[in-house]
């Protein structure tokens, strides 16, 4: 670890659909760790654009960007996430709207 800290949490994540890791460390050690990582020839920095491209290709949504409280799962392209029991009963908040959208399609505007 960089600096004097020995506290770090490493998490394997696949948020983009690719193998990836998140590293959680105290902010005082962040610059030193970043410097060590980017010194490696196979490490490249990237931003949110590439991350979003990868997650969209994998069909992964980001709350507040692709999803929010005003969209139904059908409108967000997530009808596949509605389980069999819920599709039979539609006994959840907004269930009747979702049932109608599944039967008739989404009407925009």
DSSP string, the chain: --TT----EEEEE-TTSS-EEEEE--HHHHHHHHHHHHTSTT-----HHHHHHHHHHTT---BTTTB-TTS-TTTTT-GGGS-HHHHHH--STTHHHHHHHHHH-----
Residues of the chain with confidence (pLDDT) below 50: 1-2
pTM for the whole structure: 0.56
**pLDDT digit string (tens) for 71-90?**
999 998 889 989 999 999 99
Domains of the chain: 9-57 (no CATH), 62-109 (4.10.1250.10)
Q: How far apart are CA 6 and CA 13, in angstroms?
A: 22
Q: Output phi, psi for 92, to 5 deg.
A: -130, 165
pLDDT at 103: 96
């Amino acid at each position: 670890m960089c600096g004097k800290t020995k506290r770090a949490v490493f998490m394997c994540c696949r948020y983009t659909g690719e193998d990836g890791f998140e590293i959680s460390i105290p902010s005082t050690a962040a610059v030193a760790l970043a410097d060590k990582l980017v010194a490696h020839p196979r490490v490249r920095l990237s931003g949110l654009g590439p991350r979003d491209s990868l997650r969209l290709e994998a069909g992964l949504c980001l709350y507040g960007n692709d999803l929010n409280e005003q969209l139904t799962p059908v409108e967000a392209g997530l009808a596949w996430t509605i389980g069999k029991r819920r599709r039979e009963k539609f006994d959840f908040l907004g269930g009747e709207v979702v049932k109608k959208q599944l039967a008739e399609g989404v009407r925009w505007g």
